[in-house]
């Protein structure tokens, strides 16, 4: 019976070798309900907490409201505008992962003012130029998750992600080891981006 067609009886079986397992420990996939298809499944039950509870901070504890009152170094801020500011993501997908936030606590893009939208756009363009200069990024993922149902980590405060990408930045670590390799310390990245940010 091939490993592809076998399901272990328990999680503890994961460390057993074939010789350690008895026939009672294994079940053929064909004996279970369901119809096979061409899709692979990546089971992520740890994400259920985000769906059920949201893990959202109270508005009084919003990190994007608290950050502007802190020093740039402590808050990981790289640039401040009139209506919005830019800071490093504390949990980056890639080194240099930036967030562009309005100062005002608004949740959705359609709640932002024209001035806020314009400055978020301008800061996003500058962020892209600076990241190309300091890290030679090949491309970017740019976007906003609107609301808890869309996966926003902090749903109560609008923020745009600017994630630099390189041709070789994908590997097996996130899937196999639940680990993301970040190549530089946040403080060092903040300094390099802040120093390269144009002053008006």
What is residue 13's predicted lDDT score, i.e. its pLDDT? 44
Helix (H) or strand (E) run with residue 99 in it = strand 98-102
Predicted confidence at residue 60, as pLDDT, reads 73
Confidence (pLDDT) at 151:
77
Alpha helices per DSSP H over 70-162 = 72-75, 114-135
Which tokens is 176 given?
């196999």
Helix residue ranges, H only, the chain: 48-52, 63-66, 72-75, 114-135, 186-196
Question: Residue 185: what pLDDT?
Answer: 79
According to CATH, the topology of domain 57-196 is HIT family, subunit A (3.30.428)
The partner residues of 147 in beta bridges, in order of sequence, read: none
What's the pLDDT score for residue 131?
95
Residues serving a catalytic function are 159
What's residue 12's pLDDT?
A: 44
Per-domain residue ranges of the chain = 3-41, 57-196
This prediction's pTM? 0.67
Q: What is the tens place of the pLDDT at every residue in 8-65?
A: 444 444 444 444 545 555 666 667 677 777 776 767 665 554 455 456 666 677 889 9
pLDDT in 10s for each residue of the chain, 200 residues: 444 444 444 444 444 444 454 555 566 666 767 777 777 676 766 555 445 545 666 667 788 999 999 999 999 999 999 999 999 998 888 889 999 999 999 999 999 999 999 999 999 999 999 999 999 999 999 999 988 888 777 888 999 999 999 887 765 555 555 566 667 778 888 999 999 999 87
Q: Which two tokens stand for residue 102?
A: 């309005």
Cα distance between residue 163 and residue 154, in whole Å: 17
């Amino acid at each position: 019976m091939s490993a592809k067609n076998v399901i272990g009886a328990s999680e503890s079986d994961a460390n057993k070798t074939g010789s350690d397992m008895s026939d009672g420990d294994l079940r053929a996939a064909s004996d279970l309900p369901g119809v096979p298809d061409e899709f692979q499944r990546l089971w992520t039950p740890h994400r259920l907490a985000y769906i059920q509870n949201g893990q959202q901070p109270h508005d009084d504890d919003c990190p994007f409201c608290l950050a502007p009152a802190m020093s740039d170094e402590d808050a990981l801020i790289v640039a401040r505008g009139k209506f919005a500011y830019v800071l490093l993501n504390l949990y980056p997908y890639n080194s240099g992962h930036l967030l562009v936030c309005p100062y005002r606590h608004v949740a959705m893009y359609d709640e932002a003012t024209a001035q806020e939208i314009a400055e978020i756009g301008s800061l996003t363009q500058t962020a892209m130029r600076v990241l190309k200069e300091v890290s030679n990024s090949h491309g970017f993922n740019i976007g906003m998750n609107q609301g808890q149902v869309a996966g926003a980590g902090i749903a109560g405060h609008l923020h745009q992600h600017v994630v630099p990408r390189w041709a070789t930045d994908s590997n097996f670590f996130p899937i196999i080891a639940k680990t993301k390799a970040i190549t530089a310390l946040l403080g060092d990245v903040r300094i390099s981006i802040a120093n390269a940010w144009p002053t008006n």
